[in-house]
Chains A and B, each alone.
Chain A
Amino acid sequence: MNIVVCVKYVPDATADRKFEDDFTVDRVGVDGLLSELDEYAVEQALQFREKREGEEIEITALTVGPEKAVDAVRKALQMGVDKGVHVLDDAIAGSDYVATSLVLAKAIEKIGAESGGADLVVCGMASTDAAGSVIPAMLAERLGLPQVTLASVIESQGDQVRIKRDNEGSTEVIGATLPIVLSVTDQSGEARYPSFKGIMAAKKKPLETFALADLGVDAGEVGLSVAWSQVEDTTERPPRTAGEIVTDEDGSGAGALVEFLASKKFI
């Protein structure tokens, strides 16, 4: 069995994230890391394998991004994934969801080509930078696979997969037959930390780099200049001005709070 986990290298959410002059996300000047939400995807891929003792399962971590994006793959290798693939090509910079999903889909096809296709594609619920949550659905569309997304609980037996999904007004159980595209939420279970052994072992694991040409994708189909959605401007939000802070003493806090709410006409 062949599992591909899509991982994204994102600017650290706790750092001062910003944009380049062409309004693309600054992915070089700001410290980056494996998106926290993709750690859950790596974790679920590993657990999927651990629950299937005796089966031969290979897990590949896949990323698309600039040179430093390989760090996201390395982290996944340290957590226990078997091999890494980094799609690296200057032409990809500035790609929108549509183009990114194309590159990922072609890479997944190539990774699975020798074994008759990937059996399971796992994604996080969103990236922590763009936060669109659309890539898993787009991959299912492009790969023609069942879309089993936003899972908080994942169970599988043989080629059957069942998940729990929290929808807007309800909780649903979704069932599908492998191969599928699966996305998992941060409710799916704490992601493991790489062990010292894992960190050492990761250094010897295979890590391949593909260019667009290796995937049969024309450079003219991707990148900022052909993106079907375009950012025209970005504006930094002015910092919130410091408000009034009072300390509650002998019940004074409640009165002050009520007065504030009344002054703003909330009561």
Chain B
Amino acid sequence: MSEVLVVIDHVAGEVKKPTYELLTIARRLGEPAAVFFGSPDQADAVAQKVKAYGAAKVYVVDDAQTKGFLVAPKAEALQQLAEKSSGGDGLAAILLPSTFENKEVAGRLAIKLGSGLITDAVDVQAGESGPVTTQSVFAGNFTVQAKVTHGTPIITVKPNSAAPEEADGAGTVETFDATISDAARTAQIVATQPRQSTGRPELTEAAIVVSGGRGTGGNFEPVEGFADSLGAAVGASRAAVDSGWMPHAFQVGQTGKTVSPQLYVANGISGAIQHRAGMQTSKTIVAVNKDPEAPIFELVDFGVVGDLHTVLPAATEQITVRPR
């Protein structure tokens, strides 16, 4: 069976959920081979994690060679790995978690390998002539089925695109020595400031997202309290981010994160097309807004016309005292 390369999403060896989703998808297409860019010290622990989701192989690329410079070194390493591992019967696909950085890696890799590229897939299935992807486009108003017709299909896949399924893999660890050219070391990462953890679920991975917008007036306490009562991630509209009330990392929408949770609760958010682009595919949508004319109400399964500053704290209180 052909190999499918899956780039592992992790923070300092802590494997993130999209990796398991991608491994689950990879098993539909061929034999999953996970690629770990990181410290070799963490390789065994990472291998244990990914073999439980069916990784037959774990390629370890020492990130001493790739870190410190933006995107280009990773693309080079993946090119070399793809050329080596496709020696047999060819790679079935290369899957990457759809982050901004990985999309850029995928873009460069597509040109290096002479391969077609599909970004932001929300589903990938095996087809007669290779993987068939589903994408959600035009602010979620259309879904598109597509496939790669040339080279090794390179596909970036959004979080929550598959339910992770456990499966035993061999998890054989193989060290891969990439040769990084000087030309790939030209955009230097001069400083890195890790973002402080909020202790809440990751926005793009959360089952429930509670967002606030202009209507919060800058006070996110009601939104955060309500989110915590539901075990939800907190998001923000662009208006809230532009006002400096929330960091950009929390922005949901066209130029922020796209989320597709089981439940999305929009508070004090009017529902401009740019925001809808980031949340329209959520399974259930709820809104709280003072303005009964707010376009967000066109999308909702349930809406409350009211002031979030009174509705949310009261709802939080009721949920907290509710018997489970």
Contacts and interface: CB of A to CB of B under 8 A. Distances in A.
The answer to whether A and B come from one shared complex is: yes
Interface of A: 13-14, 17-19, 23, 37, 96-98, 101, 125-126, 128-138, 140-142, 144-150, 152, 162, 165-177, 180, 185-187, 227-237, 240, 242-248, 251, 253-258, 260-262, 264, 266-267
A254 B193 contact: no
A18 B139 CA distance: 12
Contact of B142 (A162, A185, A187, A235): A235
B143 A133 contact: no
B285 A240 contact: yes
Contact of A133 (B119, B144, B192, B286): B119
B298 A242 contact: yes
20 contacts: A13-B139, A14-B273, A98-B116, A131-B120, A134-B104, A137-B103, A149-B70, A169-B11, A171-B193, A172-B191, A227-B149, A229-B146, A230-B146, A234-B142, A236-B142, A237-B140, A243-B301, A243-B302, A248-B305, A253-B288
B274 A13 contact: yes
B255 A125 contact: yes
Given A243-B302, A266-B230, A232 B145 contact: yes
- Is chain B's binding surface mostly helix, strand, loop or mixed? mixed
B71 A228 contact: no
A258 B319 contact: yes
B108 interface: yes
Residue from the set B138, B314, B322 with the largest chain A CB neighbour count within 10 Å? B138
Contact of A243 (B104, B144, B303): B303
Contacts of B300: 240, 243, 245
Interface residues of B, number: 89
B101 interface: yes
Contact of B304 (A166, A227, A256): A256
A245 B195 CA distance: 38
Given A185-B255, A245-B297, A129 B138 contact: yes
Interface in B78-133: 99-101, 103-108, 110-112, 114-120, 132
